[in-house]
Amino acid sequence: MNERQPARRPGGRSARVGAEVHQAVTDLISERGYGNFTVGEVAARAGVADSSIYRRWGNLETLLTDVALTRLNAQSPMPDTGSLVGDLRTYAANVAREITGPDGLAVVRLAVALSSNGQAGLRAGDELRAERMRQLQSMLDRARDRGEHAPDALDVLDHILAPMYIRVLFGMVPLSPDYIDGLVDRLV
């Protein structure tokens, strides 16, 4: 409980603390759901001081967003298959697998929780979406650079991601490969 190291030192103790704090957040989310634990409880679970968390992340919302982005980037990386349809189908299939898996709606629930959690929550939610939209945009930009006619990132959100999210949120699962490819083909 005495974590007094500089927060930004790469590797070593700082990296280990980061991993322990991320794991504590993931555990608390699955046990209690978003919004039902404090920085103090994360710190106790991870075996670090509250001040370590505040120094490194500033507040709970930023920490939750960091955990969500790390998870997203590990589990749903942006594909680069050489064609727009290939990229979008692969991306949509990855997202579908992620959100229909165990605790798969973690990121969506986080976005929802952040959006109803004051200014810090709104800012953290904005950052989370902006970062994923930037990644999506660079995939679409690559398609444009190849001379393909690519939709906007917001169109992908509206007509590929939103239908899948809502069907999973409403328990209308599974999402079949034909359904997912159909969303992509309809948009492209």
Q: Which residues bind a copy of itself (CB under 8 A)?
A: 108-109, 111-112, 114-115, 122, 125-126, 129, 157-159, 161-163, 165-167, 169-172, 183
CA distances to 28, 59, 171 from 23, rounded to whole Å, are 9, 17, 27
Say which DSSP state 11 is in.
Answer: S
Q: Select 48 or 160, whichever has its Cβ closest to a copy of itself.
A: 160
Tokens standing for residue 106: 């973690």
Considering the complex, what minimum distance in angstroms separates the CB of residue 83 from a copy of itself?
23
Q: Select 1 or 166, whichever has its Cβ closest to a copy of itself.
A: 166
Q: Select 59 or 83, whichever has its Cβ closest to a copy of itself.
A: 59
Residues 68/106, Cβ–Cβ less than 8 Å: yes
Please give the full DSSP string across 45-103, using - where no structure is assigned: HHTS-HHHHHHHHSSHHHHHHHHHHHHHHHHSPPP--SSHHHHHHHHHHHHHHHHHSTT
- Cα of 1 vs its chain's centroid, Å: 29
Considering the complex, what minimum distance in angstroms separates the CB of residue 7 from a copy of itself?
29
Q: Select 56 or 89, whichever has its Cβ closest to a copy of itself.
A: 89
Considering the complex, what minimum distance in angstroms separates the CB of residue 167 from a copy of itself?
8
Tokens standing for residue 124: 């953290």
Considering the complex, what minimum distance in angstroms separates the CB of residue 162 from a copy of itself?
4
Q: Select 15 or 169, whichever has its Cβ closest to a copy of itself.
A: 169
Considering the complex, what minimum distance in angstroms separates the CB of residue 122 from a copy of itself?
6
Residues 7/19, Cβ–Cβ less than 8 Å: no
